[in-house]
């Protein structure tokens, strides 16, 4: 992508993209989401696993940005370089679909929050909420068409604005925290049961994945960076900052209300926790901050989703019509396709009455394989020694980091469960149409023998998911 000098992004803008992408609606619904799955002891173990695993993934993205600076499309480019065209395509498609579902969940959460003041919005999936979501979607669409630099600047402003109520929640939480309440049923069921604790840890994994999605945002925008070294720095700074906020919000809330109370809260649950401690004004503050947060997150994720489709089209993995740019350097056709897809998902949400958490679980599941392929590629580079000429110590270090990230990514696929894996397959399959279009445009053979096998497995999983939806064993 050709980017003019005045469109280049510095360290602050790249870090804001990472933080803005990661801090969306997830942190504001974290107290209730995690409490439904885990007790305080399991929560601490879960965050320890997620913290180490995601830190390793952050280091993976930092390392890959240094070893393969020519790969400017992040998760998509790494998967293709390491595992071939169809795997690379599915990484791009899965990441893109994940961002679409994430955007839909943000719209649902915005109007669910406004339901605190205006009951007509319900849980964010009523007809009036759908109409307002559609209006907001296309308003953001035309804002982004004005140019990436303008949208990135707004994202920086909203990133600063959203952190203020979160920090205030943490400060009040530190004062109100009750250690006796936090430890009253520390492991759940009144005693330590290893199988139960690990089951709780596994059940909270998709929530922790969701709140970390966006960690790769700076890599995706590496083509817009003023300095290549800023990409890895922004990734690590963004991760450490967001990790601290997430853990503090989750742990402190469990010292302000017990697990059963938290699990039964509406969303955004952080607002109701603060209301429990300080009264009505606390809920108003958090809801206002969350709406600002979601506005910035939507802006960042609409940019990210269009960018990854654009990058894949430039690399001839997606059809060439998605590579068209406007005069403002905006991937215009990719943007139109992305937001049209969000509109379709909003319609599905209206009729399926999908909740925030059902959308989040599915979005997180769609992001698992792109992370897995990126970690796998980092391991391959270390084993082959590509980009490590004369750097044996760095090569060994990155091999260990990549291996831990790979194991963590496999654990996430297992923790996500078979239901979400099948539903993910259902969403991966339609993308094959665009893959075939791109291959035929170049006059290339569509599938290799190995890729035919991958497609067959995907189709079998899709049939199983379709039957599951028909029989009621699966639900969206």
pTM, 2 dp: 0.82
Tokens matching residue 111: 């109007």
**Chain centroid, CA 249 distance in Å:** 19
Burial string for 131-147 (b: 16+ CB within 10 Å, else e) reads ebbbebbeebbeebeeb
What three-state secondary structure class fits 326?
Answer: coil
Q: What is the sign, positive or negative, of the torsion defined by CA atoms of 450, 454, 457, 462? A: negative
- pLDDT the model gives residue 249: 93
Q: How far is CA 56 from CA 62, 213, 252, 397, in A?
A: 10, 14, 25, 11
For domain 5-417, the CATH class is: mainly alpha
Which helix (H) or strand (E) is 237 found in, with range?
helix 229-253
- pLDDT the model gives residue 2: 45
Beta carbons of 25 and 211 less than 8 angstroms apart: no
Phi and psi dihedrals of 9, rounded to 5?
Answer: -110, 135
- Quickly count: other Cβ atoms within 10 Å of residue 244's Cβ: 12
- pLDDT the model gives residue 1: 43
Burial string for 430-454 (b: 16+ CB within 10 Å, else e) reads ebbebbeebbeeeeeebbeeebeeb
Per-residue pLDDT of the chain (476 residues; tens, 9 = 90+): 444 445 577 787 777 777 766 776 778 888 988 888 888 999 999 999 988 998 898 888 878 877 887 776 667 788 888 898 899 899 889 888 888 888 888 888 888 889 888 888 887 778 899 999 999 999 888 888 876 555 556 666 666 667 788 889 999 999 999 999 998 888 876 666 777 888 888 888 888 887 777 676 555 566 667 776 677 777 778 888 888 899 999 999 999 999 989 998 887 889 999 999 999 999 998 888 888 778 777 877 788 788 878 888 888 889 999 989 887 778 899 999 999 999 998 988 777 755 666 777 788 888 888 889 999 999 999 998 887 777 888 889 999 999 999 999 998 888 878 888 888 888 899 999 999 999 999 888 888 889 999 999 999 999 998 998 888 787 76
Which helix (H) or strand (E) is 467 found in, with range?
helix 449-471
- Which residue has tokens 């029989």? 471
Which helix (H) or strand (E) is 407 found in, with range?
helix 392-428
Say what the alpha-carbon torsion angle 399, 402, 403, 407 is, to the nearest 10 degrees. Answer: 180
User: Number of C-alpha atoms within 13 angstroms, CB side, residue 19?
Assistant: 27
- pLDDT the model gives residue 228: 66
Q: Tell me which residue of 27, 20, 41 sits closest to 250, measured CA to CA.
A: 27
Each domain of the chain, given as residue ranges in start order, spans 5-417
Tokens matching residue 276: 């429990």
Euclidean distance between CA atoms 180 and 186, whole angstroms = 10
Burial string for 333-353 (b: 16+ CB within 10 Å, else e) reads bbbebbbebbbebbeebbeee
Give the bridge partners for 225, in sequence order.
9
Phi and psi dihedrals of 225, rounded to 5?
Answer: -75, 140
What three-state secondary structure class fits 122?
Answer: coil
């Amino acid at each position: 992508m050709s980017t003019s000098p005045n469109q280049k992004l510095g360290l602050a803008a790249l870090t804001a993209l990472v933080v803005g992408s990661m801090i969306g609606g997830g942190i504001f619904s974290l107290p209730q989401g995690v409490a439904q799955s885990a007790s305080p002891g399991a929560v601490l173990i879960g965050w320890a696993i997620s913290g180490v695993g995601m830190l390793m993934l952050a280091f993976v993205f930092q390392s890959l940005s240094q070893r393969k600076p020519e790969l400017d499309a992040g998760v998509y480019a790494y998967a293709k370089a390491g595992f071939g065209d169809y795997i690379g395509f599915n990484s791009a498609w899965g990441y893109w679909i994940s961002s679409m579902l994430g955007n839909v969940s943000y719209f649902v959460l915005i109007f669910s929050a406004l339901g605190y003041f205006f009951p007509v919005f319900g849980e964010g999936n009523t007809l009036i909420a759908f109409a307002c979501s559609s209006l907001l979607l296309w308003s953001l669409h035309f804002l982004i068409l004005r140019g990436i630099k303008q949208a990135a600047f707004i994202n920086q402003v909203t990133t600063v604005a959203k952190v203020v109520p979160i920090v205030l929640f943490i400060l009040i939480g530190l004062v109100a925290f009750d250690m006796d309440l936090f430890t009253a049923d520390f492991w759940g069921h009144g005693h330590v049961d290893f199988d139960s604790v690990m089951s709780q840890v596994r059940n909270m994994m998709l929530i922790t994945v969701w709140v970390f999605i966006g960690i790769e945002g700076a890599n995706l925008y590496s083509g817009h960076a003023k300095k290549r070294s800023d990409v890895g720095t922004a990734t690590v700074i963004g991760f450490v900052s967001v990790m601290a906020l997430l853990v503090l919000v989750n742990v402190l809330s469990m010292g302000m209300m017990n697990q059963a109370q938290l699990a039964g809260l509406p969303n955004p649950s952080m607002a109701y926790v603060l209301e429990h401690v300080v009264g009505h004004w606390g809920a108003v503050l958090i809801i206002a901050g969350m709406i600002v947060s979601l506005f910035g997150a939507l802006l960042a994720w609409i940019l990210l989703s269009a960018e990854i489709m654009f990058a894949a089209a430039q690399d001839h993995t997606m059809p060439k019509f998605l590579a068209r740019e406007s005069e403002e350097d905006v991937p215009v056709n990719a943007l139109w396709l992305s937001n049209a897809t969000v509109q379709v998902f909003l319609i599905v949400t209206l009729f399926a009455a999908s909740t925030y958490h059902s959308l989040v679980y599915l979005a997180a599941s769609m992001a698992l394989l792109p992370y897995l392929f990126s970690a796998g590629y980092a391991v391959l580079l270390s084993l082959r020694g590509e980009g490590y000429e004369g750097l044996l110590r760095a090569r060994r270090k990155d091999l260990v980091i990549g291996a831990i990230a790979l194991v963590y990514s496999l654990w996430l696929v297992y923790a996500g469960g078979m239901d979400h894996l099948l539903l993910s397959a259902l969403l991966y399959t339609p993308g094959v149409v665009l893959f075939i279009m791109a291959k035929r445009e170049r006059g290339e053979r569509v599938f290799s023998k190995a890729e035919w096998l991958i497609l067959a497995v995907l189709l079998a999983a899709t049939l199983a998911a379709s039957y599951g939806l028909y029989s009621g064993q699966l639900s969206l």
